[in-house]
Chains A and B, each alone.
Chain A
């Protein structure tokens, strides 16, 4: 009986969040209140790099194509054991740089800092390995510009991305922005004019749709409510002074979620009207895992990162975080996103064991499937309005893919969530860094 009420309760919460994630993104119009640009902020784009030899070129290419003038790129070589540094030197031609480094944040010893002879606004920091958060903190210490952008080594900034971020920061209250992250493998053509394609591996299709939904529906809705749960580590932007007020990045498995939570806490503590925004027009393309094994590693890491934050901030909900944020984080992310995965994964066994609730479970399952399908269709519609336009053939591919998406990939993903949650309590610190293939072949990339 308790089980039945539980199932119904979770389902109701699920329906409420699904509704928010459909109605808000559908009617929200970011273009409406375009800010007049009165100030061009200066940007420091920080790229932490640990053994990124294969992919480091991606972020360089994106940065060099960027149309934004007042920006510098800082690559932090976090004690790579491969040839990342050597490779960078070959591309950029180093000269030693003697910029004064801010020591306020803690990070590992910096061995050397370089400036590129070829591109004077590109810098490289060579430091002792200390992890991603540590590398970011070193980068922040080195940077001198007003806005700090964090970018993954394998991610391409779209040429207008920094410009769009700058527009958003015209609003005084915005202290940080999440950028829009798309799956690089699902775009083809010229780097200046990429087109989406759905003629890719199933696992990439799944992630592509998932990212589109997460960014075009979920994050836009969360931003409206003031409850962004994570600024993706692949592409985020922060006011530099704010980063210092919250003491930079915490050394943890998921530093991106952690910094987002810190920001929410900071907003609540200072009782300000400040906010964390999301800018769907600021796009970067990132390479997603292309094998199940790599996706498994990535998702387990994400889940561990989530649980780590959940536990780390356990005393903060509802008083040190705003109520809205706490609700989104605990109900949508934890109860629906994580706890719910457990019964979902064991439901088939539950039905075998106890037949009395079969009908209700089947009905709730069917309801969830229909809501997910509708959400995916809404995603396609909303992304279409935002300029990601699929060909008719691709639309047919997407429709045909939806059943697999729900019954195969989502189930696999749920099992990763379950595994990640359990393994957090056994081996929480194992990092499982992703193997990157660097297999993106866009026209124009080679020229850089």
Chain B
């Protein structure tokens, strides 16, 4: 009898080990989408990004705010990569200086903390659109946080901070760069969101188009020119439509790669159905601005907190 009990406990120990293993394996496979089929190069143009239950930016409700002093213009902040100071290595340097498009996690945190402490509200694109079209008025302390390109570090480093402060942000993603699997985070490399990370991040981020694969430049007449300007109209239209398709039809806002655009680009974006488009002109946005040329402040590596405060003032 005693022997049977000890045998059963050895057997149950094994079963516990097995179920632990099974659970761990299942968890890792699911978490990192290990069984998802990864594409070589770009996400195939006929494949949507599985955003599942994520709410499209265009469907988000416009909140009503108690406005004591209405904002005349609203600062829109643009970030690219957010990297932890200790992860910054040689690869992140250009001509002896840290790539200006990288903002350190510590700086980002300070900036967000400042916004929180000062009682800023962070707007969705829908709300911004309402403001720019004079449909709604917003409190003076309003700001829009945007990220360009859809870097993985936005999810790893910025997302937890934004989430903690209950902030909203817009991520203009290059849809073709999205991976099906979730790859381990290696900050020395340029990495983009995995589909699963997009899904997890959509309580903070709304995702908008930053082209499908046209975030590139080529030399034209000796000048480096964005694909948006250098490629044929058909190619550009195709690329933009692919990005819309991959985002599940979402077409609320578009960010011009490198901030480069022409009257022709505006026409294409308009025809594609976008309601607004963003440049990189360093100004606060007001209803006086052209809705397809909305200016945004670039937050860079060397932007000091003092300068930051000035921008959002």
Chain A residues with a Cβ under 8 A of chain B: 1, 4-5, 15, 19, 22-23, 26-27, 355-356, 358-360, 363-364, 367, 370-371, 374, 377-378, 381, 385
Contacts and interface: CB of A to CB of B under 8 A. Distances in A.
B242 to A, nearest CB: 24
Contacts of A363: 24-25, 28
Given A27-B11, A371-B21, 10 more contacts: A19-B18, A27-B7, A359-B184, A360-B28, A360-B32, A370-B17, A371-B17, A378-B14, A381-B6, A385-B3
Contacts of B28: 359-360, 363
Interface string B1-25: 0010011001101100110010011
A398 to B, nearest CB: 16
Interface in B135-192: 181, 183-184
B17 A1 contact: no
13 contacts: A1-B38, A15-B21, A19-B18, A22-B11, A355-B184, A359-B28, A359-B34, A363-B25, A371-B17, A374-B17, A377-B10, A378-B10, A381-B10
- Most B Cβ at <10 Å: residue of A359, A364, A377: A359
B35 A4 contact: yes
Given A1-B38, A4-B35, A360-B34, A367 B184 contact: no
B69 interface: no
Interface size class, chain B: 20 to 34
Interface of B: 3, 6-7, 10-11, 13-14, 17-18, 21, 24-25, 28-29, 32, 34-35, 37-38, 181, 183-184
Contacts of A22: 10-11, 14
A371 B16 CA distance: 11
Tell me what chain A mostly uses at the interface: helix, strand, loop, or mixed. Answer: helix
A360 B32 CA distance: 9
Contacts of B29: 360
A359 B18 contact: no
Nearest to B3: A385
Most chain B CB within a 10 A radius of its CB, from A1, A4, A364: A1
B32 A367 contact: no
Contacts of A15: 18, 21
A261 B266 CA distance: 78
B30 to A, nearest CB: 12
Contacts of A1: 37-38
A374 B13 contact: yes
B34 A4 contact: yes
B2 to A, nearest CB: 11
A370 B32 CA distance: 22
Nearest to B36: A1
Nearest to A5: B35
Given A4-B35, A360-B34, A363-B28, A374 B184 contact: no
